[in-house]
Amino acid sequence: MKKQTLLFCFILFSSFPTLGSPVDTTIHGVTIQFSYQPSIFPESWRETPINAWAEKIVPAEISRTRRIMEKALKKYPAAMLQENLKAVYFLKRMKFFNVGYGGTNSNDAIYLTNDGLSMGYSDDYIEQTFHHEFSSILLRNFASSLDTVAWKSANIRGFDYNDPENGVGAIRNNQSSQQPDTLLAKKGFLTQYALSSLENDVNTLTQNLFLPAEEFWIFADRYPGIRKKIVLLISFYHSINPIFTDQYFRKFSAP
C-alpha cells in the first residue's frame, strides 16, 4: 500500500476533544492523541463529499511515535507551538474524498497516519510529514509574511501550479512523489508533488528544512530556483521567530 502525504488543506475552525485514553499525552504543550473517535474530525469533514474515515493506530506504534514527536516539536520555540497548534492526532489510516492521506490539518490541529515500519512509515517519514502539515497552519496564520510574488518568480517562465484540488488530483493521477528530483530542481521544484500548488511547494521545502533529505542542501546550493525559495522560506520562519536562520536549519543535516 502506498502512503500519501498532504493532499488538501481544510481551512476550518474546530475544537479538539478531551483526552480519551491513558496513552494520549502532552508534549511541549501540544496534545498528542492516539485514541480515536470520529469526532476528532470537524463535523463538515464527516459529511459528503469529504466523508472522513479513519482507523485507530495500533498500540505497538505508540511508543515510537511519541519519540518521533518529542524530536520534531523540540525544533520549535514553545511559544510558537502554543500559539499555533493545539493537537496532533495519530491514526493507522485515514481517507477523505475516498483518497488515502498520510497527513492533513485544520486551523489548529494536525492529523497524521502511522501504519508501521513495514509499510514505509519510517521515523523520518513521520517527522517530515508533521513539519509539512504544520507549515500549512503557519502559512495561513502568517500569510502576509511570505513573498509569494517573489516565490513564483523562482519557477520556470510560464509555469502554473497544476492541481485545482490543491494536491488531491496529484495523488489520484499518481503525480505525488516526494523524492528530490534533479530535473525538476533545475526548474525550481524539489519534488513532483511541489508542482501541484504553491502551498504544497512550501510544504515540501519546509519538511526538508527541518529534516533534510541527504541531497537537500546540495540541491539548495546548486539550483538557483530552489535556493531563492529557501531564502524566502527561511525569511518567513524568521519573521515568526528570530531563532530560525540559515545556520539554524543547516545544523539538522549534521551527522
Instruction: Kindly report, residue by residue over 54-68, the tens digit of the pLDDT.
Output: 999 999 999 999 999
Q: According to the model, what pLDDT value does residue 180 have?
A: 85
The grid coordinates of residue 20 equal: 480519551
Q: Are residues 42 and 85 in the same domain?
A: yes
18 within some domain: no
- Decide which of 83, 115, 138 is a domain's last residue: 138
- Give residue 162's pLDDT band: very low, low, confident or very high (50, 70, 90): confident
In a domain, 174, yes or no: yes
- Examine the fold and report which residue of 138, 173, 197 is the final residue of a domain before the chain moves on: 138
Q: How many domains does the chain have?
A: 2
Residues 199 and 100 in one domain: no
Choosing from 120, 138, 156, the residue where a domain stops is 138
Asked whether residue 163 carries a pLDDT value surpassing 80, the answer given is no
Q: What is the pLDDT of residue 23?
A: 86
Domain identity same for 164 and 184: yes
Cα–Cα distance, 70 to 50 (Å, whole number): 31
C-alpha span between 239 and 191 (Å, rounded): 26
pTM over 0.75: yes
Kindly state whether residue 193 falls inside one of the protein's structural domains: yes
Is residue 244 domain-shared with residue 188, that is, in the same domain?
yes
* 108/184 same-domain check: no
Inform me whether the pLDDT recorded for 141 exceeds 60. yes
User: Taking 50 as the threshold, does the pLDDT of residue 46 lie above it?
Assistant: yes
Nearest to 104 by CA among 2, 208, 5: 5
- Give the count of alpha carbons within 13 A of 32, CB side only: 21
Please indicate whether residue 10 or residue 28 has the higher confidence score (pLDDT): 28
Of 8-22, 30-44, 168-182, minimum mean pLDDT range: 8-22
For residue 48, is pLDDT > 80? yes
- Domain extent at residue 41: 25-138
pLDDT for 185:
93
pLDDT, position 3: 43
Say if residue 153 is in the same domain as residue 204: yes
Q: Is the pLDDT of residue 21 over 80?
A: no
